[in-house]
């Protein structure tokens, strides 16, 4: 498989600040940003993860951006970098909550969906909606150290854990899908 390196524009975005500088988060209210948010992302070469300075800086800046923005996840396309990379909070692992995800795949999931309450997004300010989500997913991905992970993620309740939903939300960003594309119909069981 051929991997496409960062474009010149992506490198510009990544290197326009240091590891403590948050990115500007793209917004659906901006026509150009909105187009970028609808584009599909590409995988990165897993063999280059550890030694790719641009990739490591991207991850550091995504972490800062997520914390400054108060989110539980953020995907590289949300800052204009169309690569299959995101961060998500493992609410089910309070001792190691932040996970870096590179080239993710959802490899197994149930046929039934649930209606997750009050989904929201850093790129769609001031809007919350109930969305159709999977109650669990089996996933595969690499982390920022180049280690491969396989796991089972559960959780779709704000009362307990919604780890599986966070992963799905960020995974959708890599495919140009926004949470507003998955709003529960009023007739869906669990509609609130």
List, as one string, the DSSP characters of 18-74. -TTPPPPPP-TTSHHHHHHHTSPPB---GGGTTT-HHHHHHHHHHHHHHHHHT-SEE
Q: Phi/psi at 163 (nearest 5 deg)?
A: -60, -45
For residue 119, the surrounding DSSP H or E stretch is: strand 114-121
Please state, in angstroms and as integers, the Cα–Cα distance from residue 98 to each residue in 49, 54, 60, 67, 166, following that order: 18, 20, 12, 10, 12
Q: DSSP character for 181?
A: G
pLDDT value for 3: 85
pLDDT value for 123: 97
At 149 the three-state DSSP class reads strand
Q: Where residue 159 falls among pLDDT bands split at 50, 70, 90?
A: confident
What domains sit in the chain, N to C, each tagged with a CATH number? 8-182 (3.90.45.10)
**Residue of 148, 160, 144, 176 lying closest to 62 (CA atoms):** 144
pLDDT value for 189: 43
pLDDT value for 192: 39
Percent of the chain with pLDDT over 70: 96
Q: Specify the pTM.
A: 0.94
Residue 170 vs residue 187, higher pLDDT = 170
User: Which residues are part of the catalytic machinery?
Assistant: 170
Q: Where residue 190 falls among pLDDT bands split at 50, 70, 90?
A: very low
Percent of the chain with pLDDT over 90: 89
Residue 104 vs residue 96, higher pLDDT = 104
């Amino acid at each position: 498989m051929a991997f496409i390196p960062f474009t010149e524009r992506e490198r510009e975005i990544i290197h326009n600040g240091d590891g403590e500088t948050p990115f500007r988060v793209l917004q659906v209210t901006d026509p150009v940003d909105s187009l970028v948010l609808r584009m599909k992302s590409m995988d990165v070469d897993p063999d280059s993860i550890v030694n790719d300075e641009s990739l490591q800086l991207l991850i550091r800046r995504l972490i800062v951006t997520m914390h400054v923005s108060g989110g539980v996840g953020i995907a590289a396309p949300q800052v204009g970098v169309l690569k299959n990379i995101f961060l998500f909070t493992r609410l089910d692992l309070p001792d190691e909550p932040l996970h870096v995800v590179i080239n993710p795949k959802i490899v197994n999931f149930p046929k039934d969906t649930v209606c997750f309450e009050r989904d929201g997004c850093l790129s769609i300010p001031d809007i919350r909606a109930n969305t159709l989500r999977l109650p669990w997913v089996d996933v595969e991905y690499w982390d920022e150290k180049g280690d491969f992970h396989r796991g089972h993620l559960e959780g779709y309740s704000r009362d307990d854990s919604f780890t599986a939903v966070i992963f799905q939300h960020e995974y959708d960003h890599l495919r140009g899908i926004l949470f507003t594309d998955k709003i529960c119909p009023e007739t869906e069981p669990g509609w609130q």
